């Protein structure tokens, strides 16, 4: 049972004691911040974004935009004064900044939880703890790995981990900070290329599939989840998410959801958390699950929930940070989500505007463009969610949209 002290629920509009509209703050002004701001504003909250970029997607649409670095003491003090509750959209925000803000505001997720997600080694240790506390067969552990902090660790890496993936412990995203290493010989050179920063050596697994679960946990310990997402990555970047009843074997799906909730529970997490899993073939030929990583925030794979569920991951973020009740989101349409990377603006060899009018002529297409000013290869510029009554219909539309946009995967 949760014994946290419950601060008052922050109702929208004029609920603050000092007679001003309740203001919700977010650290980071990217697309996740943008969609959070949209959800918060729709419910009548004011918003404040802290991001040093004057053209950040969320900063441009927020009531307040504090233009400063995430560790700027003055800006954090202003944020604390301005806001009634604070969240983050950016997992690499300094945990110390969240700690500072928590002196005046409810901050969710808490600095301690974000700090766990910022370091792959700490994160994996947490996954092991969480798995150890779960009952036998239901336990879902991390990918086999070894830490690489200093030169002596090189020899200690178990031979069974090769071929491996070397990942920096901190600051990796969208496949950045990762190097494939075929053998122990390649490891030392690959680590030198990463300037000998602290790393994790992970066994490279043959993936049958990838999936993720978005959970939301309230201050009272109540936990709800989005339906499980099945994801396809291309070059380490999420390319496509599919959600429909039966998208993964029912038993595996239930276990992934249970594991994600256990991970949130063990952290006494408050807020939205996404846990990524790998589906692998086990020694006996049956399918099993391992935990890949977690994100202490809404996740790219949960974007479909805006149109395909009656409650989105951003609605859940608003509800967890304000202490509003959570209810289990219900999937009312099958969905395919396609990420729109900068590549599609550039794939004809010159900058051109994709034929959105043709895409939007297709049934059930929902276009999200984040308002980023420059298209670059691999940069997330937007996403397209396709809803339909069946997954076959959604896939058919996705194929047509991909042909228009030149997305080949
Ligand atoms: P990021 O923080 O960049 O999302 P991930 O660790 O999730 O980093 O890796 C990105 C993608 O690379 C994964 O979604 C998966 O497709 C692939 N990948 C990562 N680790 C492994 C592994 N141990 N075995 C096989 N594929 C992996
Ligand atoms: Mg990932």
Does 334 lie in the same domain as 212?
Answer: yes
Q: Is residue 237 part of a domain?
A: yes
* pLDDT value at 150 more than 90: yes
Q: Average pLDDT in the 199-211 region? A: 97
Does 294 lie in the same domain as 261?
Answer: yes
SS3 content of the chain, % helix, strand, coil (to 5): 35, 25, 40
> What percentage of the chain exceeds 90 in pLDDT?
87
The residue with tokens 């201050």 is: 219
DSSP character at residue 104: T
3-state secondary structure of 164: strand
Residue 136: predicted pLDDT: 65
Nearest Cα residue to atom 15 of ligand 1: 236
Q: Average pLDDT in the 33-44 region? A: 97
Question: Domain containing 196 — which CATH number?
Answer: 3.30.1490.20
Q: Is residue 18 part of a domain?
A: no
Residue 175 CA, ligand 1 centroid: distance in Å: 7
Mean residue pLDDT of the chain comes to 93
Q: What whole-number distance in Å separates Cα of residue 136 and Cα of residue 142?
A: 15
Q: Is residue 360 part of a domain?
A: yes
Q: What whole-number distance in Å separates Cα of residue 54 and Cα of residue 322?
A: 27
295 lines ligand 1 (CB under 6 A): no
330-387, pLDDT tens digit by residue? 999 999 999 999 999 987 777 789 999 999 999 999 999 999 989 999 999 999 999 9
233 lines ligand 1 (CB under 6 A): yes
Q: Is residue 112 part of a domain?
A: no
Structure tokens at 142: 């991390």
Structure tokens at 139: 């336990």
Which of ligand 1's atoms lies nearest the C-alpha of 177?
3
Q: What whole-number distance in Å separates Cα of residue 94 and Cα of residue 27?
A: 10
How many CA within 13 A on the CB side of residue 215?
23
Distances in Å between the Cα of 49 and the Cα atoms of 31, 36, 78, 314, 394 are 12, 10, 11, 15, 35
Do residues 323 and 5 lie in contact, with contact meaning Cβ atoms separated by under 8 Å?
A: no
Q: What whole-number distance in Å separates Cα of residue 157 and Cα of residue 44?
A: 53
200 lines ligand 1 (CB under 6 A): no
Q: Is residue 116 part of a domain?
A: no
Residue 270 pLDDT grade (very low, low, confident, very high; cuts 50, 70, 90): very high
Residue 176: predicted pLDDT: 82
Q: Average pLDDT in the 155-166 region? A: 96
Does 217 lie in the same domain as 194?
Answer: no
Do residues 59 and 43 lie in contact, with contact meaning Cβ atoms separated by under 8 Å?
A: no
Q: What whole-number distance in Å separates Cα of residue 348 and Cα of residue 340?
A: 15
Residue 11: predicted pLDDT: 86
Q: Is residue 117 part of a domain?
A: no
Structure tokens at 209: 């599939």
Q: What whole-number distance in Å separates Cα of residue 167 and Cα of residue 129?
A: 21
Q: Is residue 125 part of a domain?
A: no
241 φ/ψ angles, rounded to the nearest 5 degrees? -125, 140
Structure tokens at 255: 């276990």
Pick the last residue of a domain from 59, 92, 107: 107
Our measurement of the distance from residue 114's CA atom to the centroid of its chain's CA atoms, rounded to an integer in Å, reads 12
Range in 64-73, 177-186, 268-277 the model is least confident about = 177-186
Residue 173 CA, ligand 2 centroid: distance in Å: 7
Which of ligand 1's atoms lies nearest the C-alpha of 173?
3
Per-residue b or e along 96-131, where b marks 16 or more CB atoms closer than 10 Å to that residue's CB: ebbbbbbeebbbbbbbebbbbbbbbbebbebbeebb
Our measurement of the distance from residue 296's CA atom to the centroid of its chain's CA atoms, rounded to an integer in Å, reads 7
Does 247 lie in the same domain as 215?
Answer: yes
Does 232 lie in the same domain as 373?
Answer: yes
Residue 232: predicted pLDDT: 98
Residue 349: predicted pLDDT: 72
3-state secondary structure of 216: strand
Which of 72-81, 134-143, 174-183 reaches the highest mean pLDDT?
Answer: 72-81
86 lines ligand 1 (CB under 6 A): no
Residue 124 CA, ligand 1 centroid: distance in Å: 14
Q: What whole-number distance in Å separates Cα of residue 109 and Cα of residue 321?
A: 8
Q: Is residue 170 part of a domain?
A: yes
Residue 17 CA, ligand 1 centroid: distance in Å: 46
Residue 3: predicted pLDDT: 41
Which helix (DSSP H) or strand (DSSP E) does residue 346 occupy? helix 343-346
Residue 172 CA, ligand 1 centroid: distance in Å: 10
Structure tokens at 25: 């703050």
Question: Domain containing 90 — which CATH number?
Answer: 3.40.50.20
Nearest Cα residue to atom 27 of ligand 1: 204
Does 189 lie in the same domain as 81?
Answer: no
* pLDDT value at 1 more than 90: no
Residue 257 CA, ligand 2 centroid: distance in Å: 17
Q: What whole-number distance in Å separates Cα of residue 122 and Cα of residue 169?
A: 9
Does 356 lie in the same domain as 240?
Answer: yes
Please count the other Cβ atoms lying within 10 Å of the Cβ belonging to residue 42.
12
Residue 295 pLDDT grade (very low, low, confident, very high; cuts 50, 70, 90): very high
**Sign of the dihedral defined by the CA atoms of residues 401, 295, 36, 342, in that order:** negative
Does 196 lie in the same domain as 87?
Answer: no
Does 298 lie in the same domain as 379?
Answer: yes
Which of ligand 1's atoms lies nearest the C-alpha of 231?
14
Q: CA nearest 310: which of 195, 387, 401, 408? A: 387
Residue 66: predicted pLDDT: 98
Pick the last residue of a domain from 61, 87, 107: 107
Residue 17 pLDDT grade (very low, low, confident, very high; cuts 50, 70, 90): low
Distances in Å between the Cα of 359 and the Cα atoms of 87, 292, 334 are 34, 34, 18
Question: Domain containing 365 — which CATH number?
Answer: 3.30.470.20
Residue 45 pLDDT grade (very low, low, confident, very high; cuts 50, 70, 90): very high
Q: Average pLDDT in the 127-149 region? A: 88
Q: How many domains does the chain have?
A: 3
Residue 6: predicted pLDDT: 45
Does 161 lie in the same domain as 82?
Answer: no
Pick the last residue of a domain from 152, 186, 203: 203
Q: Average pLDDT in the 391-397 region? A: 98
170 lines ligand 1 (CB under 6 A): no
Residue 156: predicted pLDDT: 94
Do residues 70 and 86 lie in contact, with contact meaning Cβ atoms separated by under 8 Å?
A: no
Domain that holds residue 186: 144-203
Does 223 lie in the same domain as 194?
Answer: no
Q: What whole-number distance in Å separates Cα of residue 41 and Cα of residue 82?
A: 16
330-339, pLDDT tens digit by residue? 999 999 999 9
Longest Cα separation, the chain: 65
Does 249 lie in the same domain as 149?
Answer: no
Q: Average pLDDT in the 21-43 region? A: 97
Q: CA nearest 287: which of 263, 259, 255, 262? A: 255
Residue 18 CA, ligand 2 centroid: distance in Å: 42
């Amino acid at each position: 049972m949760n014994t946290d002290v419950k601060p008052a629920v922050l109702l929208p509009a004029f609920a603050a004691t000092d007679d001003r509209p309740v203001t919700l703050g977010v650290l980071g002004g990217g697309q996740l911040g943008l969609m959070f701001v949209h959800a918060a504003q729709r419910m009548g909250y004011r918003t404040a974004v802290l991001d040093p970029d004057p053209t950040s997607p969320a900063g441009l649409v927020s009531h307040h935009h504090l233009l400063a670095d995430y560790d700027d003491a003055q800006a954090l003090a202003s944020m604390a004064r301005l806001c009634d509750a604070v969240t983050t959209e950016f997992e690499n925000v300094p945990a110390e900044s969240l700690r500072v803000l928590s002196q005046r505001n409810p901050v969710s997720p808490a600095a301690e939880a974000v700090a766990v997600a910022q370091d792959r080694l700490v994160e994996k240790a947490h996954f092991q703890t969480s798995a150890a506390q779960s009952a036998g067969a239901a336990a879902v552990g991390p990918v086999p790995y070894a830490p690489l902090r200093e030169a002596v660790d090189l020899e200690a890496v178990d031979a069974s981990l090769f071929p491996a993936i070397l990942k920096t412990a901190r600051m990796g995203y969208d496949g950045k900070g990762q190097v494939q290493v075929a053998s122990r010989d390649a490891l030392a050179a690959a680590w030198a290329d990463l300037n000998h920063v602290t790393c994790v050596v992970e066994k490279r697994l043959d993936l049958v599939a990838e999936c993720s679960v978005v959970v939301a946990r309230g201050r009272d310990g109540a936990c709800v989840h989005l339906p499980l997402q099945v994801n396809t990555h291309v070059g380490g970047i999420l390319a496509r998410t599919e959600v429909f009843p039966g998208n993964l074997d029912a038993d595996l799906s239930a276990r992934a959801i249970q594991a994600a909730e256990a991970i949130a529970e063990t952290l006494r997490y408050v807020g939205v958390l996404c846990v990524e899993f790998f589906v692998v073939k086990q020694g006996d030929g049956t399918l099993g699950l391992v935990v890949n990583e977690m994100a202490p925030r809404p996740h790219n794979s949960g974007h479909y929930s805006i149109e395909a569920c009656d409650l989105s991951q951003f609605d859940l973020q608003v509800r967890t940070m304000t202490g509003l009740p959570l209810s289990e989101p219900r999937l009312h349409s099958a969905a395919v989500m396609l990420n729109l990377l900068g590549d599609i603006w550039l794939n004809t060899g010159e900058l051109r505007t994709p034929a959105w009018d043709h895409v939007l002529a297709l049934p059930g297409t929902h276009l999200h463009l984040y308002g980023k000013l420059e298209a670059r290869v691999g940069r997330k510029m937007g996403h397209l969610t396709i809803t339909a009554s069946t997954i076959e219909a959604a896939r058919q539309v996705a194929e047509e949209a991909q042909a228009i946009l030149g997305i080949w995967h």
